[in-house]
Each structure stands twice: as structure tokens, then as C-alpha cells.
Amino acid sequence: MIARGGDTREMDWQIKTSGAGLYEFTRDVAASVAATGVLTLFVKHTSCSLLIQENADPEVQTDLTAFFDRFVPPADHPGMSYLSHTYEGPDDMPAHIKAAMLPTSLQIPVISGEFQLGNWQGIYIFEHRTVPHLRRVVGMMR
Amino acid sequence: MIARGGDTREMDWQIKTSGAGLYEFTRDVAASVAATGVLTLFVKHTSCSLLIQENADPEVQTDLTAFFDRFVPPADHPGMSYLSHTYEGPDDMPAHIKAAMLPTSLQIPVISGEFQLGNWQGIYIFEHRTVPHLRRVVGMMR
Amino acid sequence: MIARGGDTREMDWQIKTSGAGLYEFTRDVAASVAATGVLTLFVKHTSCSLLIQENADPEVQTDLTAFFDRFVPPADHPGMSYLSHTYEGPDDMPAHIKAAMLPTSLQIPVISGEFQLGNWQGIYIFEHRTVPHLRRVVGMMR
């Protein structure tokens, strides 16, 4: 995290992923917010997503991954033979499709240093690729 | 609504829902904006959504609800038997899935007090649960 | 683009579309950002979307359009006969559904005049209607 003058606070996270699924980093984010403003998180990739979802029951996370795997199956699945962008593997174009449908950025209000997340709202990277990746998230508090 | 010093204006709405569907609150929001900046709306729940959609023809709203009901049917539907997070009822996990695919936050520019919504853009809570809920939305104008 | 005093910079684009698909305008946006803050883009319509997606391989764009056409087929498709809002043509309500699932606004951090897009992230209008349209996008840098 790099603090700057005035009302702006910039943040930067690198998150390691190891296959499709949700990776929570709520605590890392919550530790960085201060004052009053809106926190913007932005992921610099087009094959993974940011997501706010329930963090009470881990089955919500596995069910979400299972749903999106069925909804957008790999390119070698019979129903997906119309896809052209497949040279990086059968999980490549489905990852772009999932990333188009799920957030690239999140905005969360902060009031007097208090993060306005609901009781069970957690912040996640939703990885759509199969092989391990290092994902970069930029944050800005304004 | 709580007005605060400087450039920040904070807002808070509680919206009663009675079953799946869209609940418009555009006028309540429009009455709260002022000056120039970006309005952020944030819903503190993971089983309903915020949405900007057409408010001219009410059939758009019923069609949207019908589409999402077919797209993510209840957990007791034969095709959804792979879901694990079902202890709050068959509409529980489908509500989380819909909430993952639709916005948790909205951002709307305001220029000299004029809300930059298009002619037929309305602001909605999209409720995904069957039983009545009280939904909290936080707003921040910066 | 209209520059205003203080920390706010307002922008306005009109983008011509000629049928469903992705129309990139990354360079136009990048040329307008300055200083440090968050750029918000907002599209004033409910039948097209804004999208950040890969701009290296054009097949990603055609695959995205093909996926959404199959996922939400026109209203005269047998599986879509439950739709009511069809008086503007069979692509009308499917366009609203796609617009509900894809972004109406985007937020991108800018640090010292440097746009925080990843290497292959491009900014697009995703048109969902068949006939040509002129689409208005409002931008605000704060």
C-alpha cells in the first residue's frame, strides 16, 4: 500500500490462485481503508473476476464455481464447438466469458473508517483459469 | 439521508420486498443528489441486486424476473441437484447465483445537480428471495 | 470533453453501432484521463453495455457475441415464447436481458495520469440491438 497526500489512498495486491474458484481477501482490504470515501477495486485481467458474495458458508463458494462451470463449459465440450479463441486451452475462452459476466471492479463506501460491507459480504477473486496465476488488484480510496 | 461537510453526501435507504422481482426507487435517489460528482449505491446483501433498467414498460421488469427464474431455477428443480447450500430453502443458493451475476453497486455521474440517467433508465432493487425482506442500500455522493 | 475546475473532469462520447457486437473506444478514453483519481464511464441506455475485455485477439470479441446470442436468443426462438416485451422486435427484450447482466458503468483507477488498465484490457460498447444506434457514454474523472 502506498499512502499519498490529500484524499487519495492507493493500494495494490497480488493474489496467487491455483485453479478455478473463489479466493477471499476481505481482511487485507479492510485493513487498508480509512477516513470517508469510496473504495474502488480493479482487477487488471480479463480471465478472472472480483466478486462480493456470502462468506459465512463455504458451500456458497463451491456452488458458485459449480454453477459457472456448468453454465460455461470448457471449449472441448460438445455444445461449445462454435468457439474460435481456443489456442490457450479449453478453459481460455470460457474464462473470458465468465469474466465478462462478473465484475472487473468493485465499489464499497467507507464512512468514518468503517467499511460498509454487510455482515456476510466477503471480497473475492473469482479465478476462471485452471493453471495457477498471480492476479493483480489495484485499489483506490477517494 | 445524512448530509456531511465538504464534498461528501451520505444516504441510506431501507426497501421492503415481497417476493422475487424488481422494486423501483429512482425518485428517492434522484431527490438526494446535488452538486457534481459520482453517486455510488451499494446494497449490503448477497441475495438481492441493484439494477439500472428500462422503466417505461413494466413488462420489461416481469420478463427480466421470468428470464432469471428459468435461467437459475430453484434448488429442488431436477437440473439443480448438484447444489449443496440449500438449508435456507430452494430459493437460497439460486439467489446467491443471481446476485453474483447482477450488480451489488451502481455508479451514476451527477453534473451540476443533474442526474445523468438516460430517459428510460430506472434504479431498482432486484429481489431474488421468495419471502419478504427489508433491504438496506447505502449511497455516497463524492 | 469539457474540462472543469478542481478535481473533476467530465467527458462525453457518441458511438455509432451497426448491429450486435463489441466496439472498442479505449484510445478515446485513454486520451482524456489525467492526474490521479477514478474514471467512471456510464452508458445512458438499457439495451447495450459497457465492457472491459481482451483486445489482443479479435476472436474473443466474436466469441463473446456468439455466446450471448446463444444464451439469450431472439424472442421468436421457440424457447423464448414466454417474453411479453416484444413490440420493438425479437431483439428488443433479449437486449434488455443482456444489458442487465453486463455493466452499465465501469470504474478504472488512474495514477499520476497513468491509466490502470492491464496489458490486454480494452474498453468496449457491447451493442445488443440489430439496427444501427448512436450510443451516448458519459465519463467523469474524480
Q: ipTM for the complex?
A: 0.95
CB contact (8 A) between residue A63 and residue B93: yes
| Residues of B whose CB is below 8 A from A53 | 46, 96, 99-100
CATH topology of domain A33-141: Jelly Rolls (2.60.120)
DSSP A46-71: SSEEEEEEE-S-HHHHHHHHHHHHHH
pLDDT tens, B92-140? Answer: 999 999 999 999 999 999 999 999 999 999 999 999 999 999 999 999 9
How far apart CA B93 and CA B90 sit, in angstroms, is 7
The whole-angstrom separation of Cα A16 and Cα C123 is 26
Contact B70 C84 (CB under 8 A): no
Q: Give CA–CA dist B139/B136, Å, rounded.
A: 10
Q: List all residues 6 or more positions away from A86 whose beta carbon is below 8 Å from its beta carbon.
A: A75, A92, A93
pLDDT at position A6 is: 53
Task: Name residues whose C-beta falls within 8 Å of residue A68's C-beta, 6 or more positions apart in sequence.
Answer: A98, A128
pLDDT digits (tens, 9 = 90+) for B33-47: 989 999 999 999 999
Rounded to 10 deg, the angle between the B58-71 and C92-101 helix axes is: 60
Question: What whole-number distance in Å separates Cα of residue A75 and Cα of residue A1?
Answer: 39
C5 pLDDT exceeds 50? no
Locate C73 and state its grid cell.
436468443
A-chain residues near C64 (CB < 8 A): 96-97, 100
What's the gap in Å between the CA of B4 and the closest CA on chain A?
10
Q: Is A85–C102 a contact, with Cβ atoms under 8 angstroms apart?
A: no
Identify the three-state secondary structure at position C70: helix
Residue B71 has pLDDT above 80, yes or no: yes
In angstroms, the first-to-last Cα distance of chain B is 14
Domain definitions of chain A by residue range: 33-141
**A49-70 average pLDDT score:** 97
Cβ distance of A107 and B40 shorter than 8 Å: yes
Confidence of residue B7 (pLDDT cuts 50, 70, 90): confident
pTM of this prediction?
0.96
User: Is the CB of residue C64 less than 8 Å away from at least one CB of chain B?
Assistant: no
The 3-class SS string of chain B reads CEECCCCCEEEEEEEEECCCEEEECHHHHHCCCCCCEEEEEEECCCCEEEEEEECCCHHHHHHHHHHHHHHCCCCCCHHHCCCCCCCCCCCHHHHHHHHHHCCCEEEEEEECCEECCCCCEEEEEEECCCCCEEEEEEEEEC
DSSP H stretches of helix in chain A: 26-30, 58-71, 92-101
